[in-house]
Amino acid sequence: MAEKIKKIIEEIENLTVVELNELIKSLEEKFGVSGALIMSAQVPAAETAKTESGTVDLVLTDSGANKINVIKVIREINPNLSLKDAKDMVDNPPQKVAEKIDRAKAEELKKKFEAAGAKVEMK
């Protein structure tokens, strides 16, 4: 991999979730592309329709008293998320903790969050 690309990747790794979201939006606007369009182009239309109806977003609405356990669940869902970013999510609900996941997986994760003392909604 070219050194220039490695440097870019290192910079991206150091971004917070909010900064990464801003970067993605800026790139989409700058180049007139969408990450959602790329993903949908890779999945056949019939399969997309089937999975879209069975997918939900999981939103953390209340972190509860034991925030450390909630942070552990968030990092289990997204191990690439830094400890600081996971803590920021727990400290500032409501936060979307998972997007377009299978309904059965969402139910499983919801139970984990509730066991940790948090409240989540499936939308």
**Which pLDDT score is estimated for 45?**
47
On whether both 26 and 58 belong to a single domain, the answer is no
Kindly state whether residue 101 falls inside one of the protein's structural domains: yes
Contacts of 121 (CB under 8 A, 6+ apart): 58, 59, 61, 94
Kindly state whether residue 6 falls inside one of the protein's structural domains: yes
pTM of the entire predicted model: 0.54
Contacts of 6 (CB under 8 A, 6+ apart): none
Tokens of 18: 């909010």
Kindly state whether residue 61 falls inside one of the protein's structural domains: yes
Q: What is the CATH number of the domain that holds 64?
A: 3.30.1390.10
Range list of H helices, the chain: 3-13, 17-31, 35-42, 45-53, 67-77, 83-91, 103-115
Each residue's pLDDT tens digit, 21-73: 788 888 878 877 765 544 444 444 444 444 445 788 889 898 888 888 888 88
Tokens of 103: 């309904």
pLDDT tier at 14 (50, 70, 90 boundaries)?
Answer: confident
DSSP classification of residue 43? S
State which residues form the domain around 27.
1-42
Q: Are 119 and 61 contacting, i.e. CB atoms less than 8 angstroms apart? A: yes
